[in-house]
Structure 1
Amino acid sequence: MAKDSQFADVRTEQPSATSLSQKLYFAAWRWHFYAALYVVPFMIMLAVTGLMMMFITQFDGRDGEKIAVTPQSTALSVTDQAAAATSAVPGDVVEYIGPKSDALATVFRINTGDTHQMVAVNPYTGDVLGNWDRRTGWYDFADNVHGSLLLGDTGDRLIEIAAGLGLVLVLTGLYLWWPRGGDTSVFIPNLKARGRTLWKSLHAVTGFWISALLVVFLISGLAWAGIWGGKYVQAWSTFPAEKWNDVPLSDSTHASMNHGNQNDVPWALEQTPMPASGSDVGVTGTAEGAPVDLNSLVALGRDLGLKGRFRVAYPRDETGVWTINQDSMSGDSATPTIDATIHVDQYTGKILAEVRFADYSVAGKSMAVGIPLHMGLMGLWNLLLNTVFCLLVIFVCVSGVVMWLKRRPSKAMRLAAPPAPADMPLFKGVLLIAALLSVAFPLVGVTLLAVLAFDVLVVGNIPALKRALS
């Protein structure tokens, strides 16, 4: 990736590098290549499915939020709208999804016993405009591929390794690209070049310009992953339920509000226990004397300053709570700093807990902004930025493959990996770095140690295998 011709196109089995700089260059190139072998297919998959989800959200919506109606002077009460929904699709209402504007339908999620049905209702006439199975469309297919390859936890772990190795790609790529000898032309591609040199310039310069955003996307993706996210970062950064002033707690966490593999609650709250109904604690919530029902909960949300679309989840059992939620991750708004989660006792109407963006930890705030940024939900500028970014990620992956094919000897039936430098003086340092990565990023560190051991102990001692991979 560097411009220095001294290191440019080495094809020999053993590089003639003598200086420490040259040896580090060849070592970084070899690790960049090995990481890319695994990461490139995943990166292309993530970029393609990411584009699918962004444009489906933009033009069709995920939960019927794009269904238009003709505004009228008076709307039905939300309980009447819910009754209209259950008259068309019998079952229990479990969630109200308010419209973003007066010209859009209200949507209810109904548990029919076998499935969760989404029902769109005209808020002025009560007409049911359509119903469908929740999370079974093209958006959800792309989301499931994006998050787990349709393989559950196994797919999640494979993608977590790919995201972690993606960070290795960025770091080694930046080292290879780093300008040498005061050459500042590396900030723009050399369009006068031809052949592999042109591809190399386009690959390196494009990779440099997307590297910062790629790191943001990889870290935010890793934070959702099962090991690094669920066991490490999220566990340390979750919202402490102790802030709720001795409110009785449920045995369930906020993650129980998720629907299957879909994340419906803020990242910082997923591992926090839910409060429980049935006590006298809490502060004034719904209007005194009013029944604690959907009407009063929606009114409470408005009184608390929630504008546009927000959602109300019904209590799930005798100790469950009403939950009013507005968060940008779910597309409720384009502004993460107005996110809010409010829990209300189902018997007294008192507010048991209210969590705003300002209450999150630094990691929680970072994820509250990073997730909608990652999903392209923060406005048109975000959609355009992410679209260009995904296309450039695909280009960097494809250009890397093209460079490899052009570097391989013609008709060679071997991998043609970059040669390892002889007498690498920092081998122990590499082992230490891999060990530290195993602690910080367990799956990534273990993978690096396994590949390093395979490269040194197996490939280096079996001539036929060495020829096949060299």
Structure 2
Amino acid sequence: MTIVSDVSVPPARSAGLSRRFYITAWRWHFYAGLYVAPFLIMLAVTGLVMLWTAAIYGRDGEKIYTVEPHATVAPVSAQAQAAFGEVAGQIVQYIAPRSPDQASLFRVSQGESSFMVAVDPYTATALGHWDRRNGLYDLAETIHGTLLIGDLGDRLIEIASGFGIMLVVTGLYLWWPRDGQGFGSLLVPQLSAKGRQLWKSLHLSVGFYASLFLVVFLLSGLTWAGVWGEKFTQAWSTFPAEKWDNVPLSDVTHASMNHDGIKEVPWALEQTPMPASGSEAGIVGTPEGQPVTLDAIVTLARALGFDQRFQLAFPGDETGVWSISRDTMSNDSANPLDDRIVHVDQYTGRILADVGFADYGVAGKSMAAGVAFHEGAMGLWNLLLVTVFCLAIVFLSVSGFVMWWKRRPKGASRLVAPTVAEPGPLWKTGAIVMLAVSLLFPLSGAVLVCVLLLDLLVIRHIAPLKKALS
């Protein structure tokens, strides 16, 4: 005997449940957007400032001065002496020119102050100096990372980035073709539409194309954040110093090479301990029996394949090392596969560590490429693509506000958020899905739980407040 059990949902009820789920997703999208949109605008605008300031002037100001190429280059030690004559202090870094018509750069510290000095590499003549990390690029980068308020700003941005992922998820669900509509409505905006429908169509199409890039940008930014990045993702993906062969380790990490809150060290190395000078460890670097001088280290760098622009950090103390580095994150090159850092004992000239892209784990390699793409450092195509993306993010944020304003009844004294008459069983499903998405990012998840509890215990019991936020 065959027993037939019809457990299908009646069409009318199924449509009702689907509609309630749609409104629930819309509601999540609406409230997340209220918090995220201002941050997205800030990140896009400051990102554009950094992008084009670096393209025009150089991240470190290396494009401010141009020089006339000569047949021979002056010793770097002579160039360093010219820099010291321009700004007296402790020389802590040398940045080699990217092209024959660019100046050499030296970073000189004076107590708490730091200056960049440009030197003609052919004549060893100082061309000028400026405050390091005190230009437009640096202001934009500090706002981009901390809102000028330190760790609090970092945490607020991290929360916004986590909710930004939620915006992408709910946005794709909301705009996915349904009710007989094809992908044409998603891929091509309906420019013949008028009013709110035109804004909605533009928001839909631009958002669809921008969504994939937005996830890449949010994740690559989150991996630098203080909680999700530093305490979780980065801690699990750090290059292990144990890979170095019996090399003495310093008490400081590679993060000590960062200055004034500016990230300069590859993500996968930031939490890795630095090697220490003062032993016979390592392999032959500079010629044995000869002094380990600045010129000798630069010669070694060239012999190791550091052509064009690279950075050389001077030993900071008795156990410090010479650090030769090149990475896309610092705009040294356009190819993350060329990322490399070499540490040399300041006393023996022996190479203590040599770490390149191939030595990173999967997360480290992804970040090396992701940060380079994020910064538009991979060539003209990357610069233009990131520019278009940033403009798209500004448009999405503004158009979301315009759509809300056009939908909002004139003179309304409340937010006019999407409402579901009867939550129904799928409301819980939607809440669980969104909670799971946000809990992938601890700060965003904690804020979401607090908001849900605040709504459950306070807002819904205070009629004026409930009305204003509804």
* TM-score for both structures, normalised by structure 1: 0.94
Question: What is the rounded CA distance, in whole Å, between the counterparts of 1:175 and 1:228 in structure 2?
Answer: 26
1:326 matched residue in structure 2: 326
2:316 matched residue in structure 1: 316
Give the drift of 1:447.
1.4
Give the drift of 1:191.
1.1
Residue 281 of structure 1 aligns to which amino acid in structure 2?
A
Q: Does 1:379 align with 2:391?
A: no
Question: What is the rounded CA distance, in whole Å, between the counterparts of 1:298 and 1:428 in structure 2?
Answer: 63
Residues 71-112 of structure 1: CA deviation (Å, up to 9, x unaligned): 011111001110111012111110000000111100000112
1:258 matched residue in structure 2: 258
Give the drift of 1:421.
5.0
* Native 8 Å contact 2:166 2:434 kept in 1: no
Residues 100-133 of structure 1: CA deviation (Å, up to 9, x unaligned): 0111100000112241111000011111111011
Give the secondary structure class of the aligned counterpart of 2:458. Answer: helix
1:7 matched residue in structure 2: none
2:22 matched residue in structure 1: 25
Residues 348-389 of structure 1: CA deviation (Å, up to 9, x unaligned): 111000000000011100110111111111111111001111
Question: What is the rounded CA distance, in whole Å, between the counterparts of 1:431 and 1:77 in structure 2?
Answer: 65
1:93 matched residue in structure 2: 91
Residue 333 of structure 2 aligns to which amino acid in structure 1?
S
The residue correspondences of 1:27-426 to structure 2 (distance < 5 A) are: 27-66=24-63, 67-184=65-182, 185-420=185-420, 422-426=422-426
Give the drift of 1:181.
3.2
Question: What is the rounded CA distance, in whole Å, between the counterparts of 1:455 and 1:194 in structure 2?
Answer: 37
Question: What is the rounded CA distance, in whole Å, between the counterparts of 1:290 and 1:24 in structure 2?
Answer: 74
* Native 8 Å contact 1:85 1:128 kept in 2: yes
* Native 8 Å contact 2:340 2:355 kept in 1: yes
Give the percent of matched residue pairs that are identical in Structure 1 and Structure 2: 59
Give the drift of 1:204.
1.1
Q: Does 1:446 align with 2:446?
A: yes
Residue 319 of structure 2 aligns to which amino acid in structure 1?
T
Residue 147 of structure 1 aligns to which amino acid in structure 2?
G
Q: 1:114 to 1:455 in 2, by over 3 A?
A: closer
Unaligned runs of 5+ in 2: 1-12
Question: What is the rounded CA distance, in whole Å, between the counterparts of 2:433 and 2:421 in structure 1?
Answer: 18
Q: 1:441 to 1:123 in 2, by over 3 A?
A: same
Question: What is the rounded CA distance, in whole Å, between the counterparts of 1:50 and 1:427 in structure 2?
Answer: 37
Question: What is the rounded CA distance, in whole Å, between the counterparts of 2:438 and 2:193 in structure 1?
Answer: 41
Q: 1:432 to 1:193 in 2, by over 3 A?
A: closer
Residue 419 of structure 2 aligns to which amino acid in structure 1?
P
- Aligned CA RMSD, in angstroms, stands at 1.6
Number of aligned positions between the proteins = 455
Give the drift of 1:431.
5.5
Give the drift of 1:466.
2.4
Query: Once structures 1 and 2 are overlaid, which stretch shifts more, 180-189 or 85-94?
Result: 180-189
Give the secondary structure class of the aligned counterpart of 1:132. Answer: strand
* Native 8 Å contact 1:434 1:448 kept in 2: no
* Native 8 Å contact 2:17 2:426 kept in 1: no
* Native 8 Å contact 1:28 1:172 kept in 2: yes
Q: 1:45 to 1:435 in 2, by over 3 A?
A: closer
Residue 53 of structure 1 aligns to which amino acid in structure 2?
M
Unaligned runs of 5+ in 1: 1-15
Give the drift of 1:57.
0.4
Residue 32 of structure 2 aligns to which amino acid in structure 1?
A
* Native 8 Å contact 1:434 1:445 kept in 2: no
* Native 8 Å contact 1:98 1:310 kept in 2: yes
Give the drift of 1:432.
4.4
Give the drift of 1:62.
2.2
Give the drift of 1:243.
0.2
Residue 199 of structure 2 aligns to which amino acid in structure 1?
W
